[in-house]
Amino acid sequence: MKNKTLAAWLAFLGGPLGLHRFYLHGLGDWVGWLLPIPTALGLYGIERARMFGLDDGLSWVLIPFLGFTIAACALTAIVYGLMTPEKWNARHNPQGAADAPAGRTGWLTIGAVVVSLFIGATVLMASIAFSFQRYFEHQVEEGRRMSQ
């Protein structure tokens, strides 16, 4: 039986590594194996920014990959947490009853939804702001170069 609360917390805490996908769909899930790629690219972008500064063009292209992956996994945790027990059990526990305890929503599930909403929205807005700021700063620098 796949537990909805555990899946929601795995999506929030281990989502960028695909842990929730492996829990729900097994190790053969190709999406679970693809999720670490944008996570690793974003971490590489952060490392480049630490080494070369924020003026490094590749770093400001790569860093949002991490933010958007974290935000998408937080959204997944919210969807899991808000799914009705009947729908959860029909999708992830088809061998059990429609009202099986694994699909019930408890306080820990609500906690996962609240934390995912707060952190996911914060990371998403920060990623968007960082991306646009670096993009427009780059445009201003290019405009100055062209005017000289």
pLDDT above 90: residue 27: yes
pLDDT of the residue at 131: 87
Please report the pLDDT score of residue 93 as a whole number: 87
18 secondary structure, DSSP code: T
User: What is the tens place of the pLDDT at every residue in 51-87?
Assistant: 998 788 888 889 999 999 999 999 999 999 999 999 9
For residue 25, pLDDT beyond 90: yes
**pLDDT score of 32 more than 90:** yes
> Quick one: average pLDDT of 94-101?
82
CB proximity list for 138: less than 8 A, separation 6 or greater: 57, 60
Q: In a 10 Å sphere around its CB, with 0-12 CB exposed, 13-18 middle and 19+ buried, how is residue 140 labelled? A: exposed
- Confidence band of 16 (pLDDT split at 50, 70, 90): very high
- The pLDDT score that the predictor gives to residue 84 is 92
**pLDDT level of residue 10 (50, 70, 90 thresholds):** very high
Predicted confidence (pLDDT) at residue 22 exceeds the cutoff of 90? yes
Average pLDDT taken over every residue of the chain:
92
Higher pLDDT, 114 or 134: 114
Buried b (16+ CB within 10 A) or exposed e, 60-96: bebbbbbbbbbbbbbbbbbebbebebeebbeebbeee
Q: What is the pTM of this model?
A: 0.88
The pLDDT value given to residue 100: 81
